[in-house]
Each structure stands twice: as structure tokens, then as C-alpha cells.
Amino acid sequence: MKSKNKKAKAICFLGTGSGVGKSLIVAAVCRLLWQKGIKVAPFKAQNMALNSFVTLDGKEMGRAQVYQAEACGLTPDVRMNPILLKPSADARSQVIVMGKPKGELNAKTYYTHYEEHLKIVQSAYDSLSKEYECIVIEGAGSPAEINLQKTDLVNMQMAKYANAPVVLIGDIDRGGVFAWLKGTYDLVGNEHRHRIKAFLINKFRGDISLLEPGLKQFEEIVPVPFLGVLPWLQNIQIDQEDGVFLKEIERQDPNATIKIAILRLARISNFTDFSAFLVEPDVSIKIVTYPYEAEDADVIIIPGSKATISDYKILENWGWKKALHKFALTGKIIVGICGGYQMLGQSIEDPKGIEGSIKDIDAFGLLPIKTVIKAQKHLRQKEAVIDSFNIFSPLLKRLKNNPYILNERFIKVKGYEIHMGESVLINKKNIISLFQDAKEDLGVLKKNPYIIGTYLHGIFDNDLFRRKFLDAIRIKKGLIPIKTISSLSKFKISQFDLLADWFKKNVNIEMLIKLIGI
């Protein structure tokens, strides 16, 4: 079936495998085209990721396409990622179609819906294509998986539908990049091979002159030119969608005055909740597996999880239950977001086995809440107000004597909810609502020991709250507050431009523009 709409030009970036850098390269190209004044949008037909986002209209999409949309100066739109697969326990994935959950399926069952999903993907693409001058398409994994090619709607099939030239990306850091490129080129099959118009090597380290003879030899073997060689990306912060890249939000600085430890979960989701701390000069971030690694932390954060009960059991086996109680009593601040919030409670029940085979557990027992996992998924963006006096007075004994913390006392925060559990407060003693104008089920604060739990993803993306939170910790430690508000949005814009510069310096832009035909 051919696309009925040929308005938008398109280019497709595929990879020789997962993790070769497709997402960030698409973001770089999106930013580059946006800088040239081209109305551009990203598109990934099918994405597998645990890092997701909720759009303004309450729909869920992959975080990478959110980042790419922002690089285009756009509000994220679920059409940019019509199918999202969120791996869960027991070798299944939750299938999100056009932003709404459609159930949990194993891989074999999922592929029986190929024709249905293909129509959805093509319809989403056509709709975007009517509104933009150029669509930058991202593939998934490898187009050379010969056992999956007949039902692969995200790689060569998508390039064919969009009539898009393909740039094939290889990761040289893993070794064997020429064999990887050649093997992929050969295995895509005669029907699609002619669509591969350029190769692009990513993650190069060293002297480019040593690689150049190999590039020339390879072009004699395969009649496809190289678009460029991208050096290893350094000192640019990007939103990643895969927990494999969790280390990239780390910043271990022995001189930092505030140390934050984030628990590594097997099925961690939305770890971008904490990348905002990278804009703050006084923060060190460490991803930890075992309790001893958090001994020097001021703040311990339990992030979200796609398999909360399963991840909790792993943490319990590693000794975190006893450790968190000890850490709380010795004055460390403990924060749980979404699945982490549920884990901080008394119990989690999953009577219908939505997450897996374990039906109920006793949790960490640090907050007086009980959670029941239900089929109905909460998806919405949310605004709420935090009262600085209520939130920080339990942390600081003499808050009234600190006018800075009380200045701009009421802080408006924005974020989003993505959860299938409902949490109920069972005891209000020593507990207050985290948000002045929202129900307690959105988040609570335990005064002593000081523990925060919330369903609001992105709470630390709010600049004023993030700085006040950090400065309250500084005051608690006897340090002078910094007060300077760092802008996360300005930081992101600067990173988009750096990403585009990195791409422009190392790629034949004239060839790229000619390939797209704009």
C-alpha cells in the first residue's frame, strides 16, 4: 500500500542494532532542520521503552519522541509515536496504541495484530504528513531481523510507505562496524535495499585519519556513500528512553554539597524525573544498587517502575527495607515517585495479576498507605500548589527565621501521572498532603522522619521548587542557600543547539539536504 499523502518530505534513520544512537541523531536532525526554518516533526511507528510521557490531552507516548518534538519546537503529539510497548514482568508488554493502553500481550500474540497496527501507524503518519514539511523517521532495533521482517512495521516497511531515503547508522564503539553495516545491508532484502542511500558511523573515538582508508575501501564494496562519522558525544545532556542509559544522568562530584542517590530498579521507568538536577551546581547524582552505596547521601530517591512488586522484592533481597528505616531515622530525606511511592507504603496488592504472578506484598512500611493495582490507568497532566511552610517546616527547626524559604511561599508545580495503582492513606498521624490544593492520593509528606511520596512525575522539573528543596537541605546542613534559579527549559534549548552543532560539524549536510529533497 502506498501513502496517499506526498506533501511532506521524509528521511528515515535506521540502525544496525539497538543503542547505536538513532534517537539522539533524529533529535539532532530535527533541531538542524528547525534551525533552517523547516516545519519538521519526528515519527517512530513503534517504540519499546519504559520512559514515557503524558501529553496535554492525557495520552501516553515514548520519551524519545517527546525530546525530539521539543527539538523541533513542538508540543509532543501522540501521532509521533502511535504504538508504545512497555515491557513488564513475565515476558509481556503493555501495548499503548495512540496513547491509550490496550492490554498486556506477549510477543507472539502482539504480532497477530500486525495488519491492524499497520493501518494505525500509517494513518498517524499521514495525519502528520499533512501538517509538516518534513518528517524525520526513526526505526527500532535492526531492519535485518529476518525472522521478523514480514511483520516489521517500524523499519523498512515504514521507509517504503513514506517513500523515505534511509540512512543506516552503525556503532563503531562496539567493534566490527563495517561487518555490521554490510551484514545489515545484505539482509534487508532486494525489495528494500535500494532505499539505503547513506551510511553513518556513530560513537567514534580517536584519529579520524586512521579510519578514512576503511571508509574508502567499504564504498568500493558497497555502492553507498558515508554521510559522516560522528565522534563520541560528550558534555551534552539528552533525554534517554532506555534504562540501559541510566548512568548518563549520573554526576558524581566529591565536592558537591548535596548528594542524591537514586535506586537502580530492574524495570525502572521515567528516570528522566531526575535529570533536572543536572542543571544545579551543588548536586551530585549517583545511581545505587546496594544500601552501602547510599551511606553518604542526603537524599535517597526510589523512582518509578513498570513492575513495582517484582522490583520491590529485588530491593528487599538486597537489604533496602532495613536500610531505608535506618537511613530515615538518621536524617536522610527519602523520596518515592510513582512506583517508588507505592513501595514506601505498608502494602501493595495486585489481585488480578496485572503486573505479574505475585498477588500481594508487605512493602517498606515508611508511609501509612495501601496500594491496589487496578486495570484502569491514570494518565493526565496535573498542576498543583506546594506550600513552602508546610513542606519545609518539618525539615528546618527555625523556618520562621528564614525569610528566603518563605518568600514566594506558594509554589505552583506541573507534572504528569502515569500509574495503574490507587493508594489510600490509612493513618493521618504525622502526615500532611504534599500539595495544598490536591487530594492526598497525589502525594503526601511524613514529617518525622522526613519522607515524601508522590505520583507526580516531573516534580523536580519545576525550577523554583527544585531550588527551594535543595536550599532547604543546604540550610539543614548549616550551609548558605544558593538562591539562584536555574532554568531547565533554557538548559534544554542550549543542549538542543549543541547537539545540532555536533551533528553539523561531522556530517555532510549538503548530502543530507539533497537526500531529503528540501
Catalytic hit among 117, 378, 419, 457: 457
Q: Which residues pair with 370 in a beta bridge?
A: 347, 424
C-alpha cell at 488: 531547565
Give, to the nearest 10 degrees, the angle between helix 320-329 and helix 308-317. 80
Check residue 280 and report its DSSP letter.
-
Q: Where are any strands of DSSP class E within 172-263?
A: 196-204, 226-231, 258-263
Instruction: Give the torsion through C-alpha atoms of 62, 68, 74, 77, to 10 deg.
Output: -20
Is 378 part of the annotated catalytic residue set?
no
Give the three-state DSSP class for 9.
strand
Residue 46 to residue 26: CA distance in whole angstroms? 15
Helix, strand, coil % over all residues of the chain, rounded to 5 = 35, 25, 35
C-alpha cell at 428: 493521618
Neighbouring CB atoms inside 10 A of 299's CB total: 22
Please name the residue that has the C-alpha cell 506541573: 414
C-alpha pair distances (Å), 22 with each of 246, 275, 441, 460: 17, 20, 38, 27
C-alpha pair distances (Å), 115 with each of 48, 150, 151, 153: 19, 11, 8, 9
Is 325 part of the annotated catalytic residue set?
no
With contact defined as beta carbons under 8 Å apart, do 169 and 155 qualify?
Answer: no
C-alpha cell at 474: 543546604
Check residue 67 and report its DSSP letter.
H
Is the CA virtual torsion 474, 480, 484, 486 positive or negative?
negative
Burial (CB < 10 A; 0-12, 13-18, 19+), residue 194, is exposed
Residue 52 to residue 99: CA distance in whole angstroms? 10
Burial (CB < 10 A; 0-12, 13-18, 19+), residue 221, is exposed
First to last CA, the chain: 25
Catalytic hit among 12, 72, 134, 338: 338
Residues whose CB falls within 8 Å of the CB of residue 112, separated by 6 or more in sequence, listed in order: none
- The type of residue at 285 is I
C-alpha cell at 441: 492520593
C-alpha cell at 165: 531515503
Residues with active-site annotation: 338, 457
